[in-house]
A = this chain, B = another copy of it.
Amino acid sequence: MTKDIEQRLKNKNINPTAMRLLVLDFLMQQNTAISLNDLEKGMGPSDRITLYRTLKTFEEKGLVHHIDGGTGTTKYALCLEECDSDHHHDLHVHFYCNNCKETFCLPNTKNPEITLPKKFRSEEMNLVIKGVCDLCNPD
């Protein structure tokens, strides 16, 4: 098992240290995007800054991506698509539940095509939809 996780790090050219294995393992258990705080609470006692840098390293190497979408705090989630250091394929839409405050990746959605005004060139796109998620929806 640990081998899998280790290999996943190596595939991305990330040195598989103990801390990183733990963080990746934790991330793989999540089904929502998590904040640095969530990570800190979820893991055993560990240094916040180290976790911060671990996430940053993961992101640089294309293992996780972060979502900003106006919740005040940055959230992180494992990349589902094949990303690499150069190109983050921010292809999917994110969803923030106003009720449970969770942020979800919606891997089955695609970022839409937007026609920009003349001479505007698009490089990336951040689309966050806010509303009520399936678990919080009474219907």
Residues of A within 8 A of B (CB): 68-70, 93, 95, 98, 106, 108-109, 112, 114-134, 137, 139
Is the pair A132, B128 in contact by a Cβ cutoff of 8 Å? no
Whether A95 contacts B116 in the complex (CB less than 8 A), given A126-B127, A126-B130, comes out as yes
Is the pair A115, B109 in contact by a Cβ cutoff of 8 Å? yes
- In the complex, the chain B residue whose C-beta lies closest to that of A74 is B70
Is the pair B137, A120 in contact by a Cβ cutoff of 8 Å? yes
- One complex includes copies of this chain to the number of 2
Closest 4 CB pairs of A and B: A68-B70, A119-B134, A112-B112, A123-B131
What separation, in Å, do the CA atoms of A139 and B123 have in the docked complex?
A: 16
What separation, in Å, do the CA atoms of A122 and B108 have in the docked complex?
A: 16
What separation, in Å, do the CA atoms of A134 and B116 have in the docked complex?
A: 10
Is the pair B114, A137 in contact by a Cβ cutoff of 8 Å? no
Interface residue from B68, B126, B137 paired with A121 (Cβ < 8 Å): B137
Interface hub of A109, A116, A132, A139 (most chain B Cβ within 10 A) = A116
Interface residue from B98, B120, B129 paired with A133 (Cβ < 8 Å): B120
Residues of B within 8 A of A123 (CB): 98, 130-132
| A125 to B: closest C-beta gap in Å | 5
14 contacts between A and B (CB under 8 A): A69-B70, A93-B114, A106-B120, A109-B115, A109-B116, A112-B112, A114-B127, A116-B129, A117-B134, A119-B133, A121-B131, A121-B137, A122-B130, A127-B128
